[in-house]
Each structure stands twice: as C-alpha cells, then as structure tokens.
C-alpha cells in the first residue's frame, strides 16, 4: 500500500471526495484523510498513479516516498543521499521544492543546497544508462517535494508533471474561458445531486469548457503524465472507469464559438434573451456567464443574474440550474462552492 496526496483547490476537498464516489473509486481507497487543500489517501500504487488519468477535480497528485525525523542538515544530507531514486528518474538532474514549518531546519535555501549536494552524491554512484539519458534529454525535470514539519521530514514525488489541469496535449482556448478543473468541480457538484437527466445545456458556453468536461467526465484524459516515464511504473495497467449516463450536450452563445465543430456537442449561435422555449428532455443548465469584468454586463449585476435565472427557467424548464458569479455580487441563491477563477473570487450556485 502507498500514500498519495491528492491536491485540489482549497475549499473543494469535499467535491473531490464526491468525484471519487461518483466514479466508484472510493472502494479501492483503504484510508482517506481530508486536509486543507487536499486528500491524503492510502491505496495500491497502480491505482493511485492512475488517478491522474481519471480524476478531473484534482489539480496534482504526489506520492509519499519517505517519512523520517530530521532535525539538522547532516541528517537531511544522509536521508537524501541514501534514498533509492532510480525507480523514479530518467534524468540525472531533478528539482527539489522545500517547505519547512515549526522545525529546527528553517533555512530553506540551505536545505535546498543540501538536497542538491546529496542527490549529486547519489547520482554519481548510480549513473543512468546513456540510452535513457538520450531519450529523455529535453523533457521536464522530475520534481520532489520535501516538507519538514515539527522536525518530521516527508519526501514526496510529483506524479502529474506540467499543467495537470490540461486534458490533452493540444487545446484551443476561447475568450475568458474557465480552467478545466473548475468546470469539473461544477459538474461533480451537479452530478452529486443525483438527478435523472438527459440533456445538458450551457446557454453562454464560450469555448465550451463545461460541456467538454461533461462529455469527458467518465473518460480518461488523453495525455501523458510524468509518472508514466518512471522505470517503476512502465507498462502498468490503467484502472477501469464506471460507464457514465448517456446524455445530449448543447451549447449556445451570442457570439460564434470555437465549439462549432466539436464532437458530440451541438452548438447554436443564439442569445439567451432571444428565441422561444426549447422542448428538451430532462434538462440541466450549467454555465459560467459573464462576470461584468472581462466580459461586460451593461446593467446592475444583481438584476442581470436574477433576470438570467428567470430567462433560463422560461427557455429550458431545467431540473437544475448551476452557474458561477463573482462573490462580491450579493446573490441569494444556494451557494455550493467558492473558488478563485483566474484571479476573480467566484461562487457556484445551484438552484434545484
Ligand atoms: C465567461 S464566458 C464563458 C466562458 C466559458 N465557460 C468557457 O470556459 O469558455 C461568457 C460567455 O457568455 C457569452 N454571452 C454573454 N451574454 C450572452 C447572452 N445574452 N446570450 C448568450 N451568450 C452570452 C459571451 O459571448 C461569452 O462567450
């Protein structure tokens, strides 16, 4: 069994737990501790690594490699120079990220130098094969996290690598688009209501991040993660995912959208405040409308969001409406989550 730390935006830890349940993944987790900004879980190695591919609300995954008392620099040097790095590395340079708290070691700069020196000693005694060095010459460096708290050291390795919120290697972005992880937070909270639904509509869909995340929610991400190159993890099997419900995805926007030719999503160029009632089956409306900042709103924002909700009810007769608005706008709807979207504090509201 291994310990993994699943990092998520602060305040969204419960949403990550809901995603584990929705996808039936909680059954393979032996122990789960909720902390601020993440979950510490105990599970099989392969399962924990594969969570990178299947979780959508988690922003990074770390694997705990070692825990030990450490009160001074010679001890730190000894721990690092004696650790067996080979199962995890394909380069002779790595990066250390150091945090210390309430410990005798407080000088993080000196701690970093100590770790670098200790790693150099290790690698000089355990040179990698030229064929491996050649193959991985220009890829991102492996990161190791060292946390010293109350003189207790934990050494963890990053399993995710660069920009884990990205779902595939190539991506087209639209105007004021939302980060995928956040879109999936909204989706998870909506699915956790356990309503029967057949149609998802985003009436102000922009580049369609929410709809694309909905489409891919039950599918593994089509990209590589850094753990896949570890000698230890090569050729490991991926964990199977539960099959999600079948649903139809519809995006509207008053502007043209990059969504136009997107697989499995119907795009219509329509203003929310125009057009008549849409007779659709078992609808959930979920949207990230303008905030009145980057995308302008020409009237009082409380009025705008109230009018928007009224109009959504009239136009789609949905079972659930979920939408995001800046926290500073005093709305009286049922607030589910608060998070920071590209520097703007926002709330997610659910009306059902
Ligand atoms: C914040 S952006 C949406 C971003 C989207 N969630 C994404 O990730 O790409 C808001 C979108 O609402 C659209 N919009 C604003 N007012 C609208 C209206 N009355 N009817 C339809 N779309 C509207 C804008 O064109 C813009 O694309």
What is the tens place of the pLDDT at every residue in 84-93?
999 999 999 9
Per-residue pLDDT at 112 exceeds 90? yes
Q: Whole-model pTM above 0.95?
A: no
Residues 6+ apart with CB under 8 A from 221: 52, 53, 54, 167, 168
Q: In terms of pLDDT, which residue wins out, 35 or 259?
A: 35
What dihedral do alpha carbons 297, 274, 317, 263 form, nearest 10°? -90
Whole-number Å distance, alpha carbon 212 to ligand 1 midpoint, is: 15
- 142 vs 94, 116, 145, 254, 258, CA distance in Å? 5, 13, 10, 44, 34
CA of 326 to the centre of ligand 1 (A): 15
How remote is the CA of residue 56 from the centroid of ligand 1, in Å?
23
% of the chain surpassing 70 pLDDT = 97
User: Between residues 256 and 218, which one has the greater pLDDT?
Assistant: 218
Alpha-carbon distances of 182 from 59, 81, 217, 234, rounded to whole Å:
10, 39, 13, 30
Q: Is the CB of 102 under 6 A from ligand 1?
A: no
Residues near 261 by Cβ (< 8 Å), separated by ≥ 6? Answer: none
* Over residues 239-267, mean pLDDT: 86
User: Going by DSSP bridges, is the β-strand pair 265-269/248-253 parallel, antiparallel, or unpaired?
Assistant: parallel
Residue 273 Cβ inside 6 Å of ligand 1? The answer reads yes
Please, are residues 90 and 230 in contact by the beta-carbon 8 Å criterion?
Answer: yes
Task: Return the closest-CA partner of residue 39 out of 7, 81, 82.
Answer: 7
Considering all CA atoms of the chain, what is the largest pairwise distance in Å, rounded to the nearest integer? 73
Cβ(166)–Cβ(223) under 8 Å? yes
Q: Are 167 and 219 in contact (CB under 8 A)?
A: no
Residue 284 has pLDDT above 60, yes or no: yes
Q: What is the pLDDT of residues 130-188, one digit of tens each?
A: 999 999 988 999 999 999 999 999 999 999 998 777 776 555 555 667 889 999 999 99
Q: What is the mean pLDDT of residues 15-32?
A: 96
Question: Does residue 274's CB lie within 6 angstroms of at least one atom of ligand 1?
Answer: no
Query: Is residue 240 very low, low, confident or very high in pLDDT (cuts 50, 70, 90)?
Result: confident
């Amino acid at each position: 069994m291994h310990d993994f730390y699943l990092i998520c935006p602060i305040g969204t830890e419960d949403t990550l737990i809901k995603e584990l349940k929705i996808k039936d993944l909680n059954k393979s987790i032996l122990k789960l501790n909720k902390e601020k900004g993440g979950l510490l879980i105990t599970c099989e190695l392969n399962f924990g690594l594969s969570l990178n591919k299947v979780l959508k609300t988690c922003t990074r995954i770390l694997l705990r490699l070692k825990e030990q008392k450490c009160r001074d620099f010679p001890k730190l040097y000894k721990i690092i120079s004696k650790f067996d790095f080979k199962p995890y590395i394909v380069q002779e340079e790595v990066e250390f990220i150091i945090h210390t708290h309430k410990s005798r070691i407080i000088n993080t700069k000196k701690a970093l130098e100590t770790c670098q020196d200790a790693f150099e000693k290790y690698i000089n005694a355990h040179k990698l094969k030229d064929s491996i060095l050649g193959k991985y010459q220009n890829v991102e460096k492996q990161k190791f996290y060292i946390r010293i708290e109350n003189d207790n050291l934990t050494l963890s390795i990053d399993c995710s690598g660069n920009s884990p919120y990205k779902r595939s290697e190539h991506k087209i972005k639209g105007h004021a688009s939302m980060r995928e992880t956040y879109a999936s937070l909204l989706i998870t909270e909506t699915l956790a209501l356990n309503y029967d639904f057949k149609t998802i509509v985003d009436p102000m869909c922009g580049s369609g991040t929410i709809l694309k995340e909905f489409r891919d929610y039950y599918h593994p991400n089509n990209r590589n993660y850094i753990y896949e190159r570890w000698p230890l993890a090569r050729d490991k099997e991926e964990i199977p995912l539960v099959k999600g419900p079948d649903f139809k995805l519809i995006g509207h926007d008053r502007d043209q959208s990059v969504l136009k030719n997107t697989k499995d999503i119907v795009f219509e160029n329509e203003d929310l405040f125009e057009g008549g009632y849409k007779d659709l089956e078992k609808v959930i409306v979920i949207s990230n409308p303008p905030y009145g900042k980057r995308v302008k709103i020409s009237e009082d924002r409380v009025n705008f969001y109230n009018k928007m909700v009224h109009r959504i009810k009239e136009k789609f007769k949905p079972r659930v409406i979920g939408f995001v608005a800046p926290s500073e706008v005093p709305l009286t709807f049922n607030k589910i989550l608060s998070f920071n979207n590209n520097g703007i504090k926002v709330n997610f509201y659910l009306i059902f």
